[in-house]
Structure 1
Amino acid sequence: MPDRVGQQLGNYRLTSILGQGGFAEVYLGQHVYLGTQAAIKVLHTQLSSGDAERFHTEARTVAHLIHPHIVRVLEFGIDNSTPFLVVDYAPNGTLRKRYPSGTLLPLAAIVSYVRQAADALQYAHEQRIIHRDVKPENMLLGRRNELLLSDFGIALVAQSARYNSTQSMQELAGTIAYMAPEQIQAQAGPASDQYSLAIIVYEWLCGARPFQGSFAEVAVKHTLVSPPPLRERVPELSEAIEKVVLQALAKDPKQRFPDITAFATALEQAYHSEPVPEILQPRAPTQDEVPVSAETVLLADAVVAPVVAAVSDKLAPVTENLTDELSTRASADVAEEDGLETTPLPEAMALEKEVFVGNVEGKVASPEKETNELEVVAQPEKGSGKKGRTGVITRRKALFGLAGALGILGVGGAAWAIKSQVLSSPLATPLPINGSSVPVLVYRGHDAMVWSVAWSPDGKHIVSGSGDKTVQVWDARTGSPLYTYNGHTDSVYAVAWSPDSRRIASAGYDQTVQVWNAATGFYPYTYTGHSSWVWSLAWSHNGKRIASGSGDQTVQVWDATNGENAYVYRGSQGFIHSIAWSPDDSMIVSSDNREAQVWDPASGNKLDTYRPYAAAIWSVAWSPDGKRIASACDDKTVQVWDAIGGDHRYVYYGHSDFVYAVAWSPDGKRIASAGEDKTVQVWNATDGSNVITFRGHTNSIHSLAWSPDSKRLASASWDMTVQVWQIP
C-alpha cells in the first residue's frame, strides 16, 4: 500500500503511520486549521459508486454514536475511491498492547472493563448497531485510561466494501477467535457481541482463549464444542464467576443473558459475592498504568489498594457493595495514591436524624439498592377526611410531573414562618470543625424538601427555597435566621441573589418569579410571563437582567427591575431544567431533558448544542473563565465540555445515581456535584482527581452553592436541611 504520510484527507494532514492491519492503515493526523490530533483509518478497498453511497450511509450512522466509552468518528470521506474514517486519537494504545496474550488480569479490573464495554455496546445495540468485532485489539485506552471501544465503523463498512486484502471476509467482520457461532453462520445479533466479550473475560481469567487451532478448527469448535471449564484452569475461581461466563458463552443466543448489560451486572454481582482468589488479586500498577486521577479502589474483601491498571473513574463496579465494616468507617484525610488511612467514628457520632455528621471520604460507600421507582403516599388534606393513596412512579416522571408529585407528597397547607419566640429546637446546628469530617453547619429551618440554595456574593448570607412555600435568608456562619419571605403560594424551586447582594429572585410552582429586598422582603416585583411552573433562575452578572426557565419550555430574559424588554427563547425540547449566564453575560446555557443549548440572550441565536447520550441534563454551570461548561446528568455522570464546540469532553463517573446539581468553584479549580446518591462530591475541574466525598444528607440533594472565596459549599436536600461544608 502507498505511504500516505504528508497527504491531506479531509481536514487532516497525515503526519505519521501508527499501524497497519489486514484491512486498514492507521495514521496520526493533525487538523489543518485547529491543530488537533486524530487517528485516520484508510481502508484497503476501492469503492464503486454504489458502495460509496452505502459507505456514506453507514459512516453517518456510526458518527452518531456518542458515548463516553466509544471512540468518536469525527469525519469520514472517500479519496480516489478509497474510504477513510477520522476518529479520536487514543494515546495509550490497546488493551492487547497493555496486556499481551497470556496475561491474567485482576478480577477488579476485569469487572470494570466489562462494565465499560457493556455500557458502550448496550448503547450501540439500542441504536440497532452490532459491533461484530469485539476483541482486545479494538479496546483502546483513553487519556485517563478509560476504556474506549473502537472500530464500529470497520464492522459496518465491512458489509459494504470489497476489500483488497488477503484476509477473508470472516476475519474482516470479526476475528474468528472471538466470534459467536451464529455470526460464523452470518446471523449476527446483539448477543454475538456478548459472546465475544465473554471470550475476552475467559482469556483474562485464565490466560488463554477457550478454543485453539487453525481458522477452520476454531470456527468448528465455536459452533459445536463446549468451552473447557474455567475452574479446571483456575481452581481458585468461584463457581459463581464461572457460571456467569459460561452462560454468556452458550451456543444458543437465547440461552445467554437477555442483554449485554445483564451479563456485566451478573459478573459484577458474582465478583462481590465470593472472596477473590489470590491469583486474581490486584497487583501494584506500573507507572504508565495509573490513571491521571489516582483514586482509591476499595475491594469487597476489605482490601484497600491503589487503582489497578486502567480501572475507569467510573468506580461503581469495583467499589459498590462494600462490607458493613468499611461502610461505617470514615476517612480523616482525602485518599492518597498510596492508600487510605481511616479512623472509626465515635459511637456517639453515628449518623441519625438528629445528629448531623458528614464524612469526607476518598471512597464510594455502599449505595442502597437502586430502583427507578418511588412509592409515594398521598397525605389527606386537612379536615377533608380523605385517606391517602399509594402509587408507583418513575423517578424521572416524579420530577417531570411536579404538580402531581408535590400534591401527592402533601406540601400544600398553611404558610409557615419563623416564629419570633424561642424555638424548642434550634433552626441551625453549628458543628465544631474536626479537620473536615463534619459539616460546619446544618440548617433546619424548613419543614419540607429544600429545592434550591444560593450564597450571597458578599459571602455573608445564604438563601434557601423549599416545598413549604417559603424562602429563608440566614447567616452563612451561624445559621441565624434573617428573614422569611412568604410571597409564594406554592413550592419554591429556584432562588438567586443579585450581584450586589441586596435583592433576591425566587420562583416556583405558582408560575411566578418574585424579586424582593433580601433584608426586609419589601418592594417585591412579580414577573408573570410564564404559563407553567418556573423551575430555574439566573441573574446576569451585571445585575440588569434575569433569565427564568419554565415548564412551558421557554427561557425568558427580562429587566430585573420591572420585567420589561422580555425576550422569549423557544429553542428547547422540553421543560427547562437549568440556566446559567456566561461570566461576561454574552451567552446563556440552558438545559432540558435532551440537551444543553448555548445561545445569545440578545438575539436568541443558537450558538451550540451539547447532547449527551440518552440522558437528561439537570444542571449546568460555567467555568469562571467562560471557556467550559459542566453539566449534571441523570446517567450518573457529570460531563465537562468546551462552551463552543462541545469538544475536549471530560466525564466524571463518581456518582452511583442521578446527578441533579453541579457548581463550579469561583476560583475555577474545582467542581462540586450532588444528586440521588445523597453525596456531595468535590473534584479537580481539570481531570476529576482529588475527589472529596461529603456524606450527611439522608435524601437526594438538588442544589449546591459555593461561598465566594471557594472555601465552603452549601447543599440543599429533600431531607429538609441545608448543610454547609468546609473545603479542605
Structure 2
Amino acid sequence: MEQTASVEKEPENRMWCCAWGLIKRQQNDQCSEDEDGFTHTKLKPKEFVITGGIQPQLKIVHISPSEENVFPHEYSHQLPGMGIHNVALSSDNNCISAVSMDGNLMLLNVKGGVRLPRVNHCHVSNFWSTAFSRNTDCVYAGSGSGHIFKYDTTLGKLQHSYDTDRCENVMGLAISGDQRLVGATDYAGNFTLLDGSTGQVLRRRNYKKPLRRLVYDHSMRHALAACDDKTIKVIDLPSGRLRESLAAHDAFVMSVAVSPDGLRFVSGAYDGSIKVWDVRTTKSSLSFHCGSNSNLWDVAFNKLNNKISFVGDGKGLNIYYCLGNREMMLV
C-alpha cells in the first residue's frame, strides 16, 4: 500500500482580530402592550462581534439572535485577497475597515458588505493597521513604511499623510476623538505621537521590543501599548512620558483594549492569558487563562462594558461575561 506524506494544514478557524458593534433599536423595533392597553417600547440594544482571520472573509456574529434581529446568528462577507489581520469599526457602528494579509485596506458596510475593495494610492507599499476617530467620514491606516494615511470613507480619497520618520511596520494605531493626536507603535518598539493637523512629530520613544497594539483611554490622559517584553506600557498624554510599565503576562502581550466607560482595560498574551485591569489603580482585578486558545492574537471590550472577546488559533472566537470583580463566565 502506497504511503503519502501528511501535510499539516493551517487551522480553518484561526482568527487574528475582533471588534464589537452595537445596534440601537428604533422606537418601533419592539413594543409591548400592558393590561391597560398602554404601549411600551423595549429598546434593548443588539450586540455583534466582527472577526477576521485566515479566511478571506469577515464574520459577523450576533450575540442574542431572535426572529426580530437585523442579522442572523452568524454570517460573513467574502473579501478579495488574503485573510484579515486587523479590523476597526466606526463610531456609528456602520462602517468596517479591514486590513488583509496582502496589505490591502478595504471598507465595508456592516449589513451590505464590501463598499470599497481597495483603498490605496501610489505611495503605499502595504498596510498593517487601521483605526477610526469619532468622525465617521474618515479612516486611518498605518503602512509598512512607517507612514500613516487618512482617507475619506466615501470614495477612499487621500486626505492627509503622516510620517513617523521610522521605516517600520505600523502595528498599533490610535486616533483621538478630535483627531488632534495620532499615535503609532511599530515592530521596532517605537512609540510616536503626531500632531493630527500638521503631521509634526510631537514625541517619540523606543522600547526596544515590538509594540503590537495601541489604544487611548477615554479621558485622553494615557495611551496603552501591548509590548513583546511581556508588559503593558502606560504612557502619559500629551507628554509622551512613560508613566508605568506593567509586568502583565508571561508571554508577548498581543493586544490591549479599553472599556467604553473608561474604567477598565483588558490585555491578552500569546500564551492565552487574559487580564482585566482597573484604569485608576492599574491593578489587575481579574485573570483568566484560555487553554483552547494558546496562540491568542486579539482582545476587545464590548460597548456595554460587561463582556470581552478574544480570538486565536484554537477555538476561534471566545466571549466571556466580565462583571465587577467576579470570575469571568463563558457566554
Question: Shorter-chain-normalised TM-score: which range?
Answer: 0.7 to 0.9
RMSD: 2.3
Which residue number corresponds to residue 633 of structure 1?
Answer: 227
Q: CA deviation at 1:605?
A: 1.0
- 1:318-359 superposed Cα distances (whole Å, 9 cap, x missing partner): xxxxxxxxxxxxxxxxxxxxxxxxxxxxxxxxxxxxxxxxxx
> Out of 13, 16, 19, which is 1:454 matched to?
19
Q: Distance in 2 between matches of 1:601 and 1:689?
A: 32
Q: Distance in 1 between matches of 2:141 and 2:237?
A: 20
Q: Confirm or deny: 8 A CA contact 2:139 2:151 kept in the other structure.
A: yes
**1:564 corresponds to 2:151:** no
Count residues in correspondence.
289
Q: Summarize the Cα distance change of 1:682–1:480 in structure 2 as closer, same or farther, 3 Å threshold.
A: farther
Q: Confirm or deny: 8 A CA contact 1:472 1:481 kept in the other structure.
A: no
- The unaligned stretches of length 5 or more in structure 1 are 1-384, 389-408, 412-445
- 1:9-48 superposed Cα distances (whole Å, 9 cap, x missing partner): xxxxxxxxxxxxxxxxxxxxxxxxxxxxxxxxxxxxxxxx
- 1:701-727 superposed Cα distances (whole Å, 9 cap, x missing partner): 221211112111111112251111111
Within-5 A mapping of 1:709-728: 709-728=304-323
Q: CA deviation at 1:410?
A: 5.7
Within-5 A mapping of 1:320-339: none
Considering fraction of residues, name the structure with more strand.
2
> Out of 607, 631, 645, which is 2:239 matched to?
645
Which residue number corresponds to residue 57 of structure 1?
Answer: none
> Out of 46, 55, 60, which is 1:468 matched to?
55
TM-score (norm 2): 0.80
Q: Distance in 1 between matches of 2:203 and 2:160?
A: 19
Q: Confirm or deny: 8 A CA contact 1:712 1:727 kept in the other structure.
A: yes
SS, match of residue 118 in structure 2:
strand
Which residue number corresponds to residue 217 of structure 1?
Answer: none
Q: Distance in 2 between matches of 1:632 and 1:610?
A: 14
SS, match of residue 620 in structure 1:
strand
Which residue number corresponds to residue 487 of structure 1?
Answer: 79
- 1:53-101 superposed Cα distances (whole Å, 9 cap, x missing partner): xxxxxxxxxxxxxxxxxxxxxxxxxxxxxxxxxxxxxxxxxxxxxxxxx
Q: Confirm or deny: 8 A CA contact 1:598 1:643 kept in the other structure.
A: no
Q: Which amino acid aligns with 2:157?
A: E
**1:680 corresponds to 2:283:** no
Q: Confirm or deny: 8 A CA contact 2:257 2:266 kept in the other structure.
A: yes
Considering fraction of residues, name the structure with more helix.
1
Q: Distance in 1 between matches of 2:13 and 2:304?
A: 30
Q: Confirm or deny: 8 A CA contact 1:574 1:594 kept in the other structure.
A: no
Q: Which amino acid aligns with 1:588?
A: V
Q: CA deviation at 1:476?
A: 2.7
> Out of 621, 641, 646, which is 2:215 matched to?
621
Q: Which amino acid aligns with 1:547?
A: Y
Q: Distance in 2 between matches of 1:503 and 1:722?
A: 21
Q: Which amino acid aligns with 1:467?
A: I
Q: Confirm or deny: 8 A CA contact 1:633 1:660 kept in the other structure.
A: yes
Which residue number corresponds to residue 338 of structure 1?
Answer: none
Q: CA deviation at 1:567?
A: 2.1
Q: Distance in 2 between matches of 1:723 and 1:550?
A: 29
- The unaligned stretches of length 5 or more in structure 2 are 24-45, 66-70, 324-331
Q: Summarize the Cα distance change of 1:516–1:596 in structure 2 as closer, same or farther, 3 Å threshold.
A: same
Q: Confirm or deny: 8 A CA contact 2:254 2:296 kept in the other structure.
A: yes
SS, match of residue 80 in structure 2:
coil
SS, match of residue 649 in structure 1:
strand
Q: Confirm or deny: 8 A CA contact 1:525 1:562 kept in the other structure.
A: no
Q: Confirm or deny: 8 A CA contact 2:266 2:277 kept in the other structure.
A: yes
Within-5 A mapping of 1:503-582: 503-521=95-113, 523-529=115-121, 531-571=124-164, 572-582=166-176
Q: Confirm or deny: 8 A CA contact 2:233 2:242 kept in the other structure.
A: no
Q: Distance in 2 between matches of 1:628 and 1:522?
A: 34
Which residue number corresponds to residue 205 of structure 2?
Answer: 610
**1:707 corresponds to 2:302:** yes
Q: CA deviation at 1:622?
A: 0.1
Q: Distance in 2 between matches of 1:643 and 1:466?
A: 33
Q: Confirm or deny: 8 A CA contact 1:583 1:626 kept in the other structure.
A: no
Q: Summarize the Cα distance change of 1:692–1:480 in structure 2 as closer, same or farther, 3 Å threshold.
A: farther
- 1:570-620 superposed Cα distances (whole Å, 9 cap, x missing partner): 2234111111111322111110022111112332111112322x2221111
Q: CA deviation at 1:480?
A: 5.4
Q: Confirm or deny: 8 A CA contact 1:583 1:624 kept in the other structure.
A: no
Q: Which amino acid aligns with 1:656?
A: D
